[in-house]
Amino acid sequence: MLSYILRRIVATLPVMAIVALFVFSLLYIAPGDPAVVIAGDQASPEDVERIRQSLGLDRPFLVQFGSWVWRILHGDLGTSIFTNLPVSAMIGQRLGPTLSLMIVTLLLTIVVAVPLGVVAAWKAGSLIDRVIMGFAVFGFSLPVFVVGYMLAYIFALELEWLPVQGYTPLTQGFWPWLENLILPAIALGCVYIALVARITRAAMLEVLQQDYIRTAKAKGLGQGGILFIHALKNAAVPIVTVIGIGIALLIGGAVVTESVFAIPGLGRLTIDAILRRDYPVIQGIVLLFSFVYVLVNLMIDVTYTLVDPRIRY
């Protein structure tokens, strides 16, 4: 098992290398002279030249790439053009809120979506099933910002149960931290919950038709035991896959959600960096997200082997 995980980690290295190359090339794929692009519309030729010098854009592409990778391997993501702060420090500052939002959303999704999917599959065709699946379609079709503003209006402005906007770090207490994350997590999780509930239902329906479920019934096992012990684990592979893929969805959704709820996270930083053409920051963030995604994929693959003894690599 350990050797398998090690092998998989080694196998992710080329993927990361390609991602790095792509992220670095962002600047060059964009049309025009990178230095001019960064400097913006109103820059004088002197400004452009200065930027070119400071970023080393006058050197050959591979040399630039080499030294960029070398710096990243030493933990140096470069310096923001706009704020002159180290990119790693800027990301570090914003990591907490985004990570909090994603984890709370992820937990909320699993806790809500999986049981809903299981119940829908168990009662397939019934009213409960149709209601759940109806909500799922609803969750799919509503954009995050619509749900976000609606939630904020109802629960924060009208009922005043929860704060409208903002973020409090976990260091200042669990409830203040969670309080600020509930509405954003629901808004962000809507699509995700719908997706996972649907997949859970489909995977469970498939499993519930299998002969071994009949065997479990023949043994006299109760309905709960059959659903959650015998069927859910068998249905886990597609569910885990979708939860993992959904993390990419969350990253995208976090950008919007953070804007709606004024959470000072990576999403906001990304938007700001793009608007300011702050390439070192954009590169750093994209690299981080890619890294997270590769890591999640690795975790999914490892989970497969834990869930299903037939999967061996």
Q: Does 130 bind another protein (CB under 8 A)?
A: no
Q: Does 197 bind another protein (CB under 8 A)?
A: no
Tokens of residue 237, six digits: 């592979």
CA distance linking residue 76 with residue 66, whole number of Å: 13
Q: Which is nearer to another protein, 50 or 233 (CB)?
A: 233
Residues 2-21 touching another protein, rule: CB under 8 A, are none
Site map for another protein, 50-69, x if CB under 8 A? --------------------
Residue 307 CB, shortest distance to another protein, in Å, is: 7
With contact defined as beta carbons under 8 Å apart, do 23 and 286 qualify? Answer: yes
CA distance linking residue 121 with residue 206, whole number of Å: 9
Stretch touching another protein by CB under 8 A, among 16-24, 88-96, 165-173, 230-238: 230-238
CA distance linking residue 88 with residue 291, whole number of Å: 14
Q: Does 230 bind another protein (CB under 8 A)?
A: yes
Q: Does 41 bind another protein (CB under 8 A)?
A: no
Tokens 């990591």 -> residue: 95
Stretch touching another protein by CB under 8 A, among 3-11, 12-20, 175-183, 227-235: 227-235
Q: Does 32 bind another protein (CB under 8 A)?
A: no
Q: Which is nearer to another protein, 90 or 204 (CB)?
A: 204
Q: Does 217 bind another protein (CB under 8 A)?
A: yes
Q: Which of 61, 70, 161, 212 binds another protein (CB under 8 A)?
A: 212
CA distance linking residue 109 with residue 248, whole number of Å: 14
Q: Which is nearer to another protein, 32 or 309 (CB)?
A: 309
With contact defined as beta carbons under 8 Å apart, do 235 and 203 qualify? Answer: yes
Q: Which of 146, 219, 228, 252 binds another protein (CB under 8 A)?
A: 219
Give me the residues paired with residue 79 across strands: 86
Residue 202 CB, shortest distance to another protein, in Å, is: 17
142 three-state secondary structure: coil
Q: Which of 29, 62, 218, 275 binds another protein (CB under 8 A)?
A: 218
Nearest to 308 by CA among 228, 244, 240: 240
Q: Does 127 bind another protein (CB under 8 A)?
A: no
Q: Could you tell me how many residues of this chain bind another protein (CB under 8 A)?
A: 20
Residue 12 CB, shortest distance to another protein, in Å, is: 26
Binding site for another protein (CB under 8 A): 210-212, 214-222, 225, 230, 233-234, 307-310
